[in-house]
Structure formats: structure tokens, C-alpha cells
Amino acid sequence: MNPPGWAILLAAVGFCYVSGQSSNGAPPNFQCPVHQEVSPCVCNVKKNGLDIMCEFTDNYHINKAMAVLKGKSGIVVYYLKLRHNNLPKLQSFIFLGIDIRHLTIHNSSLAVIEESSLSSMGIGLTQLDLSQNSLGSVPSPAFKNLHHLLILNMNHNKISVIHSRAFEGLDTLEILTLYENKISTIEDGAFKGLAKKLRRLNIGGNGLTAVPKAVGHLENLRKLELQENSISHITEKDFEGLVKLDSLGLAHNHLRTVPPRAFSHLQELNSLELDGNSITHINPDAFVGLEVSLQYLRLGDNNIHQIPSDALKPLHRLRHLDLRSNNISYIAEDAFTGYGDSITFLNLQKNNIKMLPSMGFDNLNSLETLNLQNNKISHIPEEIMEPIVDTLRVVDIMDNPLLCDCELRWYKEWIKNLKDKDDEMMQKKRTVCTMENEHREYPVQNMPMDRMNCVGKNMERTSASSAPTLIVSALLPPLLMFTCL
């Protein structure tokens, strides 16, 4: 059957809509020049325009290829990728007359961007990637006409100061990343002009010692990455204007405490990363303001000595709590009282935990992942697992000095009943325990039950063959009736 006429018409309209017009008004031209004309650059035709790549070459050859493109009327270069070249200076008018939508100049020793090199691309350019070059400052005059730019990537350059109004003119910019430069100063007006649209800012991997005041004006920012700097203090004022912030990354800085109300203005904050600092103290009011928003909290690789229950208690929606690699040696009976029922992920690996309190996990009735790997735990009481074992999908107790005792039978049965036997979980089968009187280790699922004298409270001694059937049929209630002789 032939498609009806209106379908063809719609398809044609659709095509025109997708391909649009080139920004210099000529009908769009999606034909690559002859290969020799642009060599060593390579041209391919993509759905939305040409994809041109020039690698391991120099200024002379790139200029030559651009001159060929300038001669083709209506050409739409959807991607122009200049990588691994020797291109220390971007000369004025190099792209004049070429409609480029996404421009990448990566790892090309670029240090100077002349004022009129990019200004001709104001209408078409939406993405500009200048990563891994030698830029020592933001080339503001070259940027100021890019009124349609959405993404600007200047990662891995040598910028040390962001001057006031550095990005003025980039009034549509949504994503700005400056990861791994040498930035130690960001002047107060640095982000002037970006407040309406900027949603993501990455200034991680720099030399900042405090949260720059300039970020406070970015009232539409959703994600702020400040990780891998040298920030040693934060205060409530630092984040005052960031009312839309959803995600804040402060990992790998030099924080020692989390002061009261530090994030109180961030009432939409969903994710907070504080791992890899030197935090020893979290004020009980540290997370005030985040009661109904915070779901992901990372506090790993710090020097926290106990679960900061007082600070965590108001977080009614907390789902993911990561406390790995701290110095927690015990878990209080009420460590999760009053807030734990929303937590689905709890990571306590690489701490100093010796004992688990028998009721400690009672409130964690949504828990799906529990990581206790690499602690000093020898016994895991059945009572502590009973309230959570039904919801648990991942439990890791490897690398603990576990003793083979009847208390561990929950694990043997749990692993046997695992629903999704993916590889990662199967590895956990190598969890071993020590059979003290035999001076040898067993994988927990092969504990010699017949020699362990486990009994049920209301039953005679169980033998290796009868116990499992009983347990498999109903995982926990029968388990709880067992105690060690």
C-alpha cells in the first residue's frame, strides 16, 4: 500500500523541520568536500550536518581545510573536532562564514583565542569544548557574542583567576565546566550574566580554599561541583542564593567539621557529597533545612567515630547513607531510631566495628543493600538481621573475623535463597568463617552444621539434613528459634 499524500507531506515538513536552515541563510548543504581538498581532516555526513575531524596536524593544514569549507555555500558543520593538534593560537576569522554547531578544540596546545575567531559563530554554536589546552585565562572577548551557547567545557587548562564578568554575553549557557585548572581566585562578579540559565557548574579540581561568593548569585543552579579543592570551612552564608540546588559536591576537600545549618538554604538539595574530607564532627543541626529533600548522603573516607544519628534524625527521606572508611567502632542500639525507615542503602565497610547491637537495625525496614565488609565483626546476631533480611538484596560481610557459629545460619540460608544470582553477589559466597575448635576456615555456606550443635529452642537437635528444608520453606521465623548450645 502506498502512503497517502498527506503522510508524504508530513514527512517532508518533518524533514525540513529537522534539518532547518543554515545560519547564514543559504539552503542547507550536507555534502562533504572531496577528500583531498580537506585532508588530513576527515569529513563524514551525519543526520544533522557534517562531522569533520582534524587530528595530529597543525595551524597551516587546519586553515587550509577551513578555507575549503568557506567556499561551499550553505554548509552545516554539525561537529568540528580538532584534537591532538599543534594549534597554539586561534586566529581571527578562521571560521568566518562556516556554520558550526559543536566545536571541539582538545589537547591542541591552545593558549590564545583571538577576539574575532569565534564571534562569527554567534547564531549557530551551541557547544564549545576547549578542554586540555594551555589557556591561562577565560578568553572573554572571544566569547561575548556566543548568544546561543549551551555548553562550555574548559576542563584541564591553566586558568588561575576567573575575573569579574568573565562569561558576560553567554546568556543562554546551561553548563559550565572548569574542572582541573589552577583556579585559586574567583572574583565576586565572575558569573555575572549566567544566573538566568546556568544549571550546572563544575569548578572541581582547583585550588579554592573557600566557596566563592560568585556562586551565590546562581539562583537557577541545580548542580554545583566543588570537589577536589582545598576548602576548609563552610558556613550557612556560602550557599545562600542557591535555592534550586539539587546536588552539591564537596568531596575531597579539607573540611573538619560540618557546622550547624550549613545547608539550610538548600531546600531542594537531594544529594550531598562530603566524602574524602577530614571530618571528625558533624553538628546535630548540620542538616537542618534538608528534612524533606535529602536522599543521598556520602560521608565516606572521613574520621567519624560514630553514626551521627542526631544530625541524621531529621532526614525523613534519606535513602542512601555511605559511611565507608571512617573510624566507627560501635553502633549504638538507637543509631537508626526515628529516621532509618527510608534508608535503602547503608555502607559501613572499612570501619572498626567489632560488635553489632542486637536491635541496632530494627528501624531499617526498607534496607536493600548492607555493606559491613572489612570490619572486626566476629558475631552477627540473628536478632539484628531478622527485621531486615526480607528486604535485603545485597549483603556483604566479607573480610571480617567471623566465627562459624549458629548465629550465622541466616547468611547461609539467605545466600541460598538469593533471587538474582548475579556474579557480584556470587563472589560473596567466598565469605569465610573460622571454626575455632578445628582451627580452620570454611566458606559460610559450607559451615559444618552437623558439628556445631545448633538447636531450635523448641526442638531437639537439628541435623544437617533436616535443618535446611525447614529454613528454606520460611526463611526467618524458624531461624529465630535457633540458638547456640
Ligand X SMILES: *[C@@H]1O[C@H](CO)[C@@H](O)[C@H](O)[C@H]1NC(C)=O
Q: Taking the CA atoms of the chain, what radius of gyration do you get in angstroms?
A: 30
- Minimum distance between the CB of residue 106 and ligand X, rounded to whole angstroms? 8
- Minimum distance between the CB of residue 107 and ligand X, rounded to whole angstroms? 4
Task: Identify the residue whose cell numbers are 570537589.
Answer: 227
Q: 245 near 239, Cβ under 8 Å?
A: yes
Residue numbers at the binding site for ligand X (CB under 6 A) = 56, 84, 107, 303, 305, 327, 329
Our CB check for ligand X shows the closer of 270 and 302 to be 302
Q: 402 near 408, Cβ under 8 Å?
A: yes
Our CB check for ligand X shows the closer of 208 and 299 to be 299
Tally of CA atoms within 13 A in the half-sphere of 419 that contains its CB? 7
d(CA 122, CA 185): 29
Our CB check for ligand X shows the closer of 58 and 383 to be 58
Q: 126 near 150, Cβ under 8 Å?
A: yes
Chain-centroid distance, C-alpha 125: 28
Our CB check for ligand X shows the closer of 182 and 376 to be 376
Our CB check for ligand X shows the closer of 327 and 427 to be 327
Our CB check for ligand X shows the closer of 301 and 386 to be 301
Dump strand ranges (E) for 64-167: 76-83, 89-90, 99-106, 112-113, 127-129, 151-153, 161-162
Which three cell numbers, joined as nine digits, stand for 158?
591553566
- Minimum distance between the CB of residue 179 and ligand X, rounded to whole angstroms? 15
- Minimum distance between the CB of residue 86 and ligand X, rounded to whole angstroms? 6
Our CB check for ligand X shows the closer of 303 and 463 to be 303
Return left, alpha or beta for 439; rule: phi > 0 is left, psi -120 to 50 is alpha, else beta: left
Q: Which helix (H) or strand (E) holds 60?
A: helix 59-70
Strands 112-113 vs 99-106: parallel, antiparallel or unpaired = unpaired
- Minimum distance between the CB of residue 329 and ligand X, rounded to whole angstroms? 5
Nearby residues of 395 by Cβ (< 8 Å), 6 or more positions away: 369, 370, 371, 372, 411, 414, 428
Residues written for the chain: 485
Our CB check for ligand X shows the closer of 107 and 185 to be 107
- Minimum distance between the CB of residue 350 and ligand X, rounded to whole angstroms? 12
- Minimum distance between the CB of residue 109 and ligand X, rounded to whole angstroms? 7
Task: Identify the residue whose cell numbers are 573475623.
Answer: 401
- Minimum distance between the CB of residue 24 and ligand X, rounded to whole angstroms? 32
- DSSP three-state, residue 193: coil
- Minimum distance between the CB of residue 55 and ligand X, rounded to whole angstroms? 8
* Amino acid residing at 460: E
- Minimum distance between the CB of residue 63 and ligand X, rounded to whole angstroms? 17
Which three cell numbers, joined as nine digits, stand for 436?
575455632
Our CB check for ligand X shows the closer of 278 and 483 to be 278
Residue 69: phi, psi to the nearest 5? -65, -35
d(CA 317, CA 94): 53
Our CB check for ligand X shows the closer of 231 and 304 to be 304
- Minimum distance between the CB of residue 275 and ligand X, rounded to whole angstroms? 16
d(CA 210, CA 186): 10
Residue 20: phi, psi to the nearest 5? 65, -155
Tell me the torsion sign for CA atoms 55, 64, 33, 49: positive
Our CB check for ligand X shows the closer of 57 and 253 to be 57
